Structure 1
Amino acid sequence: MEDRTFTASDGHIVAAYGWDRADPVGIVQIAHGMGEHAKRYAPVAKALNAAGYAVFATDHRGHGGTATTPLGWMGGDGWNRALADTFEFGLKLKDRHPQKPLVLLGHSMGSMLAQQFITRYGASIDALALSGSPGFKNAFGRIVPKIIARIESWRQGPDQASTLLQSLLFGNSNKPFEGPANTGPSSMGFEWLSRDPVEVKKYVDDPLCGFVLTTGSLVDLFAGAAAAQSAPCIAVIPKSLPVYCFAGSEDPVHTGKGDIERMLGMWRAAGMNHIEHRWYEGARHEVFNETNRDEVVRDLVAWLNKVTAG
């Protein structure tokens, strides 16, 4: 892995990482999730390297090596800046490997970013892969969190974390997985991420993991999520863009399977006809860290080989 940085168009220094290789089949750009960082994707990147792909990732604003303020605060207009960072970094990757297809792979919050990314910069990538996406929420799921986030941002300040919002977003996530049958004698509180306790413990022990965005950053995220599923934004997504959406059947983030099915249905209704979807039965949120992670990577590589072949 090569550590690097790049300077965004607003002057912000963004931490970036590369698992490069000579003459790759294609380029995979990873957008990580909330409360984590890009280095956690090293095992996935190495597997994709072995399959012929150059892999790169950045730490989003407020995360990992890019954070210049308390973790979780993406800064003023940070969500839109993260979208621009992703686009600008992708341009650099295409300069590095001209004529090679570029695939954006987003996980969780990174998938939310990617879902809005394709409404602004969809023509800049050749394919999109989504892991652990929350999908598209119904009206209640869109409006209520946004209102609460605005109130909390006004009450506490945009750069402060909110226990109320943390509880609203993740308070019930671990409950289905607690108890001796799932966790043994004690729970680490993040069993909802994976059935593999070793991987869960790595997350819990990582000082750069486990936080929630601050109130102001959540306001921006919810606004971006609402925009991504609006009809005018969906209408401008390139219709020929290949999409691969994969998730664990027991992932609490997508609230049953309906949220993802709503998203894919709206895209298909708009004329996007190159969409594939896969559920991993029994798997939880972080499918790349699941007990069947080798299967997940094999399936991803098979799809990548198909969409980059043409």
Structure 2
Amino acid sequence: MTDALDGTPLANYRWPTPPGVQARGSVYLLHGLSEYAGRYEHVAAWLNARGWRVAAHDHRGHGRSGGKRASLRTADDLILDAERQVTAYTAETGEPPVLLGHSMGGLVATHVALRGNTELAGLVLSSPAFRLRLTKAQRAMLRIMRALAPSLHLPHGRRRSALTHDQAVIDAYLADPLTNRVITARLAGFLADQGEKAIAQAGQLRWRTLLLVSGADQIVDPTGSRAFADAAAPGRLALRWYDQAWHEILNETQELAAPVYADLEAWLASTPHKE
């Protein structure tokens, strides 16, 4: 555990490269809503086997970290936490990491990159939450709840069966006591506001970026990723689109995940590193 600036304890994870594997670099991972970094142990193992040491933390209000579940104190809590953790990991390893974020973690990772307070070796975004699937009625309700009860826990309506085509992954998600499956209006407001802000600022992106998009995503709207890619500076971002994949693109069935991991491996192989 390490403490955030306000004293909230944040659970930390470290997955070093195994003996005999030549070190290639570092990856720092940011997980999504209603989950925790431990769900990415298989991704860390895949990266470790290719020479990448991996680190992560559970966002405040998630997993083993402290804080009220699925809530925030201020709008930039998650971003500030991530900046602090990534900076500490850079000091630990002696080199900036590739920042890999999924869904909500992808949105947080994008703002860490855009703010420019932390050196990175690159940015990988998996189904980033740039645009939510909200009806007009839901948007109106969100405005009301943000004003009247910003910290009230509500079921977030995530379609559990649409996370991935792999039923074993869904069953494990539903049975896991560390997946909270609730949201607050303050956290939902962060996603809605910061997603559009990221799209508006995409042209300021400094770091080489790989954007992995699930075209059949039923959790976040993939048009947000398309808009972000269109607004990025030419040559800065590589967009990879997977028409049949659902939201958890790194947790898909072997057939659907294979091209995702192949694209990730190819992009990482071109990442500059210290000998």
Please confirm whether the aligned pair reaches a TM-score higher than 0.5, indicating the same fold.
yes
SS of the counterpart of 1:61?
coil
SS of the counterpart of 1:28?
strand
Flag structure 2 segments of 5+ consecutive residues without an equivalent: none
Matched, 1:266 2:236: no
Displacement of 1:161: 2.1
For 1:278 and 1:237, the matched residues in 2 are separated by 18
Which residue of the partner structure matches residue 116 of structure 2? 121
- Structure showing greater Rg: 1
Displacement of 1:141: 6.3
Q: How does 1:60-139 map to 2 (within 5 A)?
A: 60-69=59-68, 71-74=69-72, 76-77=73-74, 79-98=75-94, 100-121=95-116, 124-136=119-131
SS of the counterpart of 1:29?
strand
Is the CA contact 1:142–1:226 (under 8 Å) kept in the aligned structure 2? no
Aligned partner (choices 175, 182, 205) of residue 237 of structure 1: 205
The 1:226–1:260 alpha-carbon spacing in structure 2 relative to 1, beyond 3 Å, is closer
Aligned partner (choices 162, 167, 171) of residue 201 of structure 1: 171
For 1:195 and 1:83, the matched residues in 2 are separated by 30
For 2:210 and 2:239, the matched residues in 1 are separated by 6
Once the two structures are superposed, residues 87-117 of structure 1 have per-residue CA deviations (whole angstroms, 9 ceiling, x without a partner) of 111111111111x341110101111112222
SS of the counterpart of 1:227?
helix
For 1:144 and 1:126, the matched residues in 2 are separated by 41
Aligned amino acid, residue 10 of structure 1: D
Is the CA contact 2:124–2:211 (under 8 Å) kept in the aligned structure 1? yes
For 1:56 and 1:144, the matched residues in 2 are separated by 39
Is the CA contact 2:220–2:247 (under 8 Å) kept in the aligned structure 1? no
SS of the counterpart of 1:95?
helix
The 1:144–1:245 alpha-carbon spacing in structure 2 relative to 1, beyond 3 Å, is farther
Identity of matched residues, %: 27
For 1:117 and 1:145, the matched residues in 2 are separated by 28
Displacement of 1:276: 1.0
SS of the counterpart of 1:27?
strand
For 2:181 and 2:220, the matched residues in 1 are separated by 19
Displacement of 1:235: 4.8
For 2:52 and 2:83, the matched residues in 1 are separated by 19
Which residue of the partner structure matches residue 271 of structure 2? 307
Is the CA contact 1:122–1:237 (under 8 Å) kept in the aligned structure 2? no
Which residue of the partner structure matches residue 213 of structure 2? 247
For 2:8 and 2:27, the matched residues in 1 are separated by 23
Which residue of the partner structure matches residue 152 of structure 1? 145
Displacement of 1:26: 1.2
Aligned amino acid, residue 236 of structure 2: H
Once the two structures are superposed, residues 155-200 of structure 1 have per-residue CA deviations (whole angstroms, 9 ceiling, x without a partner) of 3x2221235xx34xx4xxx4xxxxxxxxxxxxxxx22111111111
For 2:180 and 2:261, the matched residues in 1 are separated by 24
Indicate the structure with greater helix content: 1
Matched, 1:216 2:186: yes
Displacement of 1:283: 1.5
SS of the counterpart of 2:64?
helix
Is the CA contact 1:116–1:225 (under 8 Å) kept in the aligned structure 2? no
Aligned amino acid, residue 242 of structure 2: Y
For 2:119 and 2:248, the matched residues in 1 are separated by 27
For 1:248 and 1:54, the matched residues in 2 are separated by 26
Displacement of 1:122: 6.4
For 1:146 and 1:119, the matched residues in 2 are separated by 26
The 1:277–1:62 alpha-carbon spacing in structure 2 relative to 1, beyond 3 Å, is same
Is the CA contact 2:96–2:119 (under 8 Å) kept in the aligned structure 1? no
How many residue pairs end up in the alignment?
269
SS of the counterpart of 1:307?
coil
**RMSD of the alignment, in Å?**
2.5
For 1:273 and 1:244, the matched residues in 2 are separated by 11
Displacement of 1:289: 1.2
The 1:224–1:109 alpha-carbon spacing in structure 2 relative to 1, beyond 3 Å, is same
Moved more, 79-88 or 144-153: 144-153
